[in-house]
Amino acid sequence: MTILRSERVFTQGNIQPADIEIEHDYILNMNPYGTSAEVFDLGDRLIVPGFIDLHSDAVEKEIEPRPGAEFPMDHALIELDKKLAMAGITTMFHAIAFNDHSLVGPRGTETAARLIEKIYSANLQNLCIDNLIHARFEITSFASAPIINDLMKKGIVQMLSFMDHCPGQGQFKSLEKWKQFHVPVYDLTDEDAGSVVSDKLSKRKDSLRYLEQLSETARQESIIMASHDDDSNDKIDMMKEFGIRIAEFPLSLETASYAKASEIATGMGAPNVVRGKSQSGNISARNLIEANCCDFLCSDYHPSSMLQAVYCMHQEMGMDLVDALSYVTVSPAQTAQLSDRGDIRPGMLADLVVIEDENMPKVVMTIKSGLPIYSGSSCFCLLDNAA
């Protein structure tokens, strides 16, 4: 048994002094501050639940940090797992994209499927945090549909999202905007870009049957579904018919507000909060948060932004720290129906993050299922010295 003590513990909607009694993987009791013996005293360091990240493609950058400079998947997963622990993330949904064959060729689908299998296997064997799968289906990538369907039936996928990157709607309102992003990323010529766009637009009208097939399997397997870059109320209505419960990165206040009114959770990127604007020029996450139209934050492409965003909301936007912390703990847990994490109370997984925030906030310790998986300089010897 391990008992952690702090003057500041984020538990059940409050920050208060407490002794946290841990047995094996779980929190056994929350004892009044100062009443337990043989404790590890963390002083006034803030103890919060481990961060829950529902969407991140950071694994792609870990595998290929520069175009053409690829590293082995197995090594990349181990290194990223350590970085996530250092960022305070204890549950990660890796957002693995299945893009159009016209962009990435058949190897794109094969590589995405192989990466998912690698993550699933590594998570059972040698990774520290919970590495889960968020499969992203580009609605015109028809060849990917049976692969995703099979992965869901195997129980490997925990979340499914639908994305539509055709020009003229969604994230790319114009063909020029589509080209600005895709031409350099995929090293396309103008002729290549024209062929890709033509292929996507010709397939788009036939995409509904693939969405129906995949959403049916997701419902059968109790897999949470999300839509991506929603830009209209009509799209929210259509996606709700398929059973989606989450709207990722809605592109306007009107759409986000409509999603909320339709009982669909809305999520935005933590980097957007930290930077104060969208990387792609869309609405600022801060605007949606201020309008109460954002339920949770995800790291998107920058894991360390999860902690930074919390303190940006607290210090720059005037939000109570308890409410800010909920965006990366309680709310994503509820959204993904993870009933065993996201809060510090008896019966929950002992997934904990210790934060020093007197100056620049930083994670100094991460505990997963009762075991330390990261310890910074100020906490390095702490667990060897009971108070």
pLDDT in tens for each of the 387 residues of the chain?
A: 899 999 999 999 999 999 999 999 999 999 999 998 989 999 999 999 999 999 999 999 999 998 889 999 999 999 999 999 999 999 999 999 998 765 666 558 999 999 999 999 999 998 999 999 999 999 888 999 999 999 999 999 999 999 986 665 567 766 677 677 767 777 778 776 777 777 767 677 788 899 999 999 999 999 999 999 998 999 999 999 999 999 999 999 999 999 999 999 999 999 999 999 787 678 999 999 999 999 999 999 999 999 999 999 999 999 999 999 999 999 999 999 999 999 999 999 999 999 999 989 999 999 999 999 999 877 765 555 433
Both 290 and 321 in one domain: the answer is yes
Both 57 and 41 in one domain: the answer is no
Q: Is residue 35 part of a domain?
A: yes
Q: How far is Cα 140 from Cα 130, in angstroms, rounded to an integer? A: 31
pLDDT at 164: 84
CATH number of the domain encompassing residue 15: 2.30.40.10
Q: Is residue 58 part of a domain?
A: yes
Question: Phi and psi at residue 139, in whole multiples of 5°?
Answer: -65, -10
Both 249 and 159 in one domain: the answer is yes
Both 73 and 35 in one domain: the answer is no
- Alpha-carbon distance values, 95 to 180, 278, 302, 312 (Å): 23, 19, 13, 25
Q: Is residue 370 part of a domain?
A: yes
Both 79 and 214 in one domain: the answer is yes
Q: Residue 141 in 3-state DSSP?
A: coil
Both 36 and 130 in one domain: the answer is no
Q: Is residue 173 part of a domain?
A: no
pLDDT at 203: 73
Both 366 and 254 in one domain: the answer is no
Q: How long a stretch of residues is the chain?
A: 387
| Domain extent at residue 91 | 51-164+207-335
Both 58 and 44 in one domain: the answer is no
Q: Which two tokens stand for residue 378?
A: 């100020």
Q: Is residue 358 part of a domain?
A: yes
Both 318 and 232 in one domain: the answer is yes
Q: Which long-range contacts (CB under 8 A, 24 or more apart) does 250-255 make?
A: 250/283, 250/288, 250/293, 251/170, 251/171, 251/282, 251/283, 252/283, 253/283, 253/287, 253/288, 253/291, 253/293, 255/230, 255/231
Name the residue with tokens 């897999």: 223
Q: Residue 147 in 3-state DSSP?
A: helix
Domain count within the chain: 2
Both 287 and 143 in one domain: the answer is yes
pLDDT at 179: 75
Both 146 and 284 in one domain: the answer is yes
Q: Is the dihedral of CA 193, 197, 203, 208 positive or negative?
A: positive
Compute, in degrees rounded to 10, the torsion defined by CA atoms 204, 209, 211, 215: 180
Q: Is residue 97 part of a domain?
A: yes
Give residue 294's identity as a one-letter amino acid code.
C
Both 42 and 137 in one domain: the answer is no
CATH number of the domain encompassing residue 155: 3.20.20.140
Q: Is residue 194 part of a domain?
A: no
Instruction: Give me Rg for the CA atoms of the chain.
Output: 21
pLDDT at 5: 96
